[in-house]
Structure 1
Amino acid sequence: MTTHPNPAPVQRVSVVSTGEVRIRPEHRAATRTPMYWWLATSRRWTEPLPINVYVVEHRDGLVLFDTGQDRASVTDPAYFPGGPVGLIYKRLARFDIAPHQTLTGQLAALGHDIRDVTTAVVSHLHQDHIGGLRELPHAEIVVSRREWETLDERAPEQKGLLRSHIRIPGLRWKHVDPRPLADPALAPFTGGHDLFGDGSMVLLPTPGHTPGSLSMLVRGPHHPPLLMVGDVTYDSALLEAGHVPGVGERKRLTDTTAMINEMRRRNPGLTVLAAHDPGAAAALAAATRGSRLAEAARA
């Protein structure tokens, strides 16, 4: 076997799912009906959607994009708030999480120990993206500073922010701000946060679903660029068509969607990977197939 003293920064990208979620159709794609009206009146649910966590093997450590849903949300009656706010959560989503679908269990299925995770990037602080935080006291947790500030704004629980499941004692948080980046390949984005300083993993501000939502661009030599977008969209095809989700600030979501589609136009091979897109696993497999073939050829 040939050894390579200077391996490419990104060695492998995988996806796991920490369960399934059903949401309202109006949640997945916005209509003219105001959010609280459809939330109160809708009788339909989507098909089960995955709760994706993206796993990037970088030469400087194992990196996660999002941490999934906590299984305690379906086993602990006290996980969600009670009263009228709790009713909002019940109307918003239905979860199905099997015992083996913890973050630790899903990483083990890939051959990773949870303790191998050095960095976890959180796209935003909604419950189905922070569910694995309790399993990551050893890792650095990266979130945008703007997103972190929303925890101290008015009525955070009504906005999907369960502070007791976020501000967990012992976690090592890192709050990042976008900085100017002289990288024309990021256009139309002009700023972001280079996670390791090598250009392989760049965090981009993509507000709208929440004020501080982040996406992560992953670039490697043997696959097209991958853009992990959290809940900017629930389906890559919907995003390409310009549709936005029904939860968030519509104007900012529309602007963010346009920027991502412009990046996609400039980079025809770009693969968009959303947190709840049923087609994301197949899209990732197709995008990274060349990388696996290259690995086999070098072995």
Structure 2
Amino acid sequence: MTNARNAANPIKRVSVVSTGSVSIHPEHVAATRKPLYWWLFTSRRWTQPLPINVYVIEHRDGLVLFDTGQDRASVTDPDYFPGGITGVMYDRLSRFDIAPEQTLTSQLAAIGYDIGDVHTAVVSHLHQDHIGGLRELTGAQIVVSRREWQSLGQAAPELRGLLRSHIDLPGLRWRHLVPEPLADRTLAPFTTGHDLFDDGSMVLLPTPGHTPGSLSMLVRGSGRAPLLMVGDLTYDVGLLERGHVPGVGEKRQLSATTEMINQFRLANPGLTVLAAHDPSAAPALAGATSGDLAAAHAQL
């Protein structure tokens, strides 16, 4: 786009905060030949604590979040998770550590933002560690793909990691997004998506596999290194670059989406891929945005 509105870079700042940490099984990070429920209930190995990242984008039209983190109530409220065998599954899936100062509201305040300033929160998918801040975002528009929302209405959502009582909350303003054809050929191999502010700076892309309706978000601007936030498509960008997929999701779809991301990455030198739980994401973001800060200071 070349109109006056888009002449200046609309992205002012990109940051990351973490609402605690999570440990998962190595088979969760990288798929093996073991069936999911086999390793889920038999694996005794856990990863080192991984971040629960929320990406914070200051756009000239409003503050945007990509994902909302994990709710601290998940470690303080004994009734947060379902009971019975379903509760055992959640207990075996992950171990969380969330300090009192690691709520979404506190983490935003620590980098200079008020929770009430959030204009839009894009949810990559509806698993618990991405929707935890929803109850704090009653003033924001919450964006999720319609395909992902539809999965919430299917049978036994709890067995697929969807806790409806923590998602479908009163007072939230949901927007169920249907990707539309994209005219921007630079986004190939992606052909559908959604331009969040209609200026090309923040484009939502369908990246199914981890869940049927998972979304990623491309953040870009003049003179800015492009960033691609991919949720749980991977837990380790190095594995993604080698074509390895996680152990949770539909493997064939994960592989197809991973191939598309790698095609896009190779066509866009300098692209930084940012996952939700990759320990390398925060330093990668700092490296990618250091040039932006230098340019900003040069203009002062």
TM over 0.5: yes
Inter-partner Cα distance in structure 2 for 1:139 and 1:298: 32
Aligned 8 A contact 1:222 1:288 in 2: no
Aligned 8 A contact 2:8 2:222 in 1: no
Once the two structures are TM-superposed, the CA of residue 223 in structure 1 deviates from its matched residue by 2.2
Identify the residue that residue 172 of structure 1 maps to in structure 2. Answer: 173
Identify the residue that residue 248 of structure 2 maps to in structure 1. Answer: 247
Identify the residue that residue 145 of structure 1 maps to in structure 2. Answer: 146
Inter-partner Cα distance in structure 2 for 1:40 and 1:261: 32
Inter-partner Cα distance in structure 1 for 2:252 and 2:245: 10
Identify the residue that residue 44 of structure 2 maps to in structure 1. Answer: 43
* 3-state SS in 1 of match to 2:278: coil
Inter-partner Cα distance in structure 2 for 1:171 and 1:190: 30
Q: Which amino acid aligns with 2:245?
A: V
* 3-state SS in 2 of match to 1:173: strand
In structure 2, runs of 5+ residues without a counterpart are 1-5
Inter-partner Cα distance in structure 2 for 1:7 and 1:97: 39
Inter-partner Cα distance in structure 2 for 1:126 and 1:222: 34
Q: Does 1:22 align with 2:37?
A: no
Identify the residue that residue 13 of structure 1 maps to in structure 2. Answer: 14
Identify the residue that residue 291 of structure 1 maps to in structure 2. Answer: 292
Q: Does 1:235 align with 2:236?
A: yes
Once the two structures are TM-superposed, the CA of residue 154 in structure 1 deviates from its matched residue by 1.2
Q: Does 1:33 align with 2:5?
A: no
Inter-partner Cα distance in structure 2 for 1:222 and 1:287: 11
Identify the residue that residue 94 of structure 1 maps to in structure 2. Answer: 95
Aligned 8 A contact 1:67 1:129 in 2: yes
Aligned 8 A contact 2:217 2:229 in 1: yes
Inter-partner Cα distance in structure 2 for 1:204 and 1:44: 34
- TM-score, with structure 1 as normaliser: 0.97
CA deviation vs aligned residue, 1:231-275 (integer Å, no higher than 9, x gap): 000011110010100000000000000000000010111100000
Identify the residue that residue 216 of structure 1 maps to in structure 2. Answer: 217
Once the two structures are TM-superposed, the CA of residue 56 in structure 1 deviates from its matched residue by 0.1
Quote the RMSD (CA, aligned, Å): 1.0
Aligned 8 A contact 1:7 1:59 in 2: no
Q: Does 1:265 align with 2:260?
A: no
User: How many residue pairs align between the two structures?
Assistant: 295
* 3-state SS in 2 of match to 1:168: coil
Aligned 8 A contact 1:178 1:205 in 2: yes
CA deviation vs aligned residue, 1:83-121 (integer Å, no higher than 9, x gap): 000000000000000000000000001100001100000
Aligned 8 A contact 2:230 2:276 in 1: yes
Identify the residue that residue 281 of structure 1 maps to in structure 2. Answer: 282
Q: Which amino acid aligns with 1:51?
A: I
Identify the residue that residue 206 of structure 1 maps to in structure 2. Answer: 207
Aligned 8 A contact 2:20 2:97 in 1: yes
- TM-score, with structure 2 as normaliser: 0.97
Inter-partner Cα distance in structure 2 for 1:258 and 1:236: 13
* 3-state SS in 1 of match to 2:193: strand
Inter-partner Cα distance in structure 2 for 1:61 and 1:268: 28
Aligned 8 A contact 1:188 1:259 in 2: yes
Inter-partner Cα distance in structure 1 for 2:115 and 2:66: 14
Inter-partner Cα distance in structure 1 for 2:109 and 2:279: 22
Q: Does 1:196 align with 2:197?
A: yes
* 3-state SS in 2 of match to 1:259: helix
Identify the residue that residue 79 of structure 1 maps to in structure 2. Answer: 80
Once the two structures are TM-superposed, the CA of residue 197 in structure 1 deviates from its matched residue by 0.5
* 3-state SS in 2 of match to 1:192: strand
Q: Percentage identity across aligned positions?
A: 74
Inter-partner Cα distance in structure 2 for 1:32 and 1:222: 44
Once the two structures are TM-superposed, the CA of residue 7 in structure 1 deviates from its matched residue by 4.4
Inter-partner Cα distance in structure 2 for 1:171 and 1:273: 27
Identify the residue that residue 64 of structure 2 maps to in structure 1. Answer: 63
Once the two structures are TM-superposed, the CA of residue 219 in structure 1 deviates from its matched residue by 0.4
In structure 1, runs of 5+ residues without a counterpart are none
CA deviation vs aligned residue, 1:175-212 (integer Å, no higher than 9, x gap): 11111111111110011011010010000000000000
